[in-house]
Amino acid sequence: MSIIAELREVTKSFANQIALNNVNLQVREGEILGLLGPNGSGKTTLLKILAFIEKPTKGEVNFGGRQVKDSNAGQMRMESTLVFQKTVLFSTTVHNNVVYGLKIRGKPKKEVEELVRKTLKMVQLEGFEKRHAKRLSGGEQQRVALARALALNTRLLLLDEPTANLDPKNVSIVEEAIAAANQELKTTIVMATHNMFQAKKLPHRIALMENGKIGEIGTPTEVLGKLSKTLASFAAVDNIFTGTAKTTEDGTTHVEIGSSVKLEMTGQYNGDVSVFISPEDIILSKSRFASSARNAFKGKIIEISDSGSLVRLRVDVGKLVTVQITKRSFNEMELGLNAEVFLAFKASSVQIV
């Protein structure tokens, strides 16, 4: 896979503050790369440098095999577009917002109208062409901004927290549009997020950022498979529990996490610990079932979140546990609020943080 963009030992300073510190990064053509990190970690600054809005204080940026310089930055900027977290729309119709960049690029009118139609369909805003953009809901406005960027069909699409503060319906629509842009339009995408669930689902690779540096980079499984303390400190992580660990006679460990809830895990630990169970590792059933899993609990569903093809459930087993299942399984089991369910997961699924 070829490299579309590359940062080599890039540092960016603002007055006395270092936003990026000696960052090396390669963006592969055709991938979705996630930048995962807390506020202030340097994600937005990195995106602005890839959009050629900001210049590095030190280091080198390459795009399409060429070094980015003052003499060609304007040309490079036509091949990269950034959608900011805070949506900025013109005080006019949805149609006029989407066509703005296309007109600047001198696209033929027939091609412009086809691109508007296609991109509004991708973000599920067909029929909104004549609506006033600034009178739409926040989620709809974000989808207009995404459509405007998609219509440009640049080689690199940069997204800064594209679903921050959106309701689940709009989150699902935006995520579907991002995936479609990558799969159907073959657009290379770099997206910043602090949502670990989203980082698991959309990107092909994740760069974990903290204090202006990239700490880890790899597939979602590689980066998120073992929950580090750095990740746990900022990400929207469910199923982290603190408790007291005690080694058992058979060589495993019991962790008392309160409310008479005891977890069993592999390995030998004693004393105060923090543990994590991935929502995907938990099996859910409407009836008690035979299983080799060392952890089994009975509980009640108290919260349901629909995220497209997946459903996340909060189950009260004495402690609140988040479980992820497919929407098909959810419907087949006819689950609902206050439904009684049974959970099971292996001792190996309980990880020390």
Ordered by where they begin, the domains of the chain are 3-228 (3.40.50.300), 240-352 (2.40.50.100)
How far is residue 85 from each of residues 18, 43, 82, 145, 191, measured CA to CA in Å?
21, 12, 10, 10, 11
Q: What's the pLDDT at 286?
A: 93
Q: What's the pLDDT at 106?
A: 86
Report the alpha-carbon angle 5-203-208, nearest 5.
75
Q: What's the pLDDT at 238?
A: 79
Q: What's the pLDDT at 87?
A: 83
Low-confidence stretches of the chain (pLDDT beneath 50): none
Q: What's the pLDDT at 225?
A: 66
pTM, whole model, 2 decimals?
A: 0.72
Q: What's the pLDDT at 226?
A: 64
Q: What's the pLDDT at 150?
A: 95
Q: What's the pLDDT at 133?
A: 95
> Do the Cβ atoms of 194 and 37 come closer than 8 Å?
yes
Nearest to 351 by CA among 292, 301, 295: 295
> Cα–chain-centroid distance for residue 322?
18
> Do the Cβ atoms of 150 and 185 come closer than 8 Å?
yes
Element at 101 (helix H, strand E): helix 94-104
Q: What's the pLDDT at 164?
A: 85
Each residue of 225-248: b (16+ CB within 10 Å) or e? eebeebbeebbebbbebebebeee
The partner residues of 340 in beta bridges, in order of sequence, read: 300
Q: What's the pLDDT at 108?
A: 87
User: 3-state DSSP helix/strand/coil percent for the chain, to nearest 5?
Assistant: 30, 35, 35
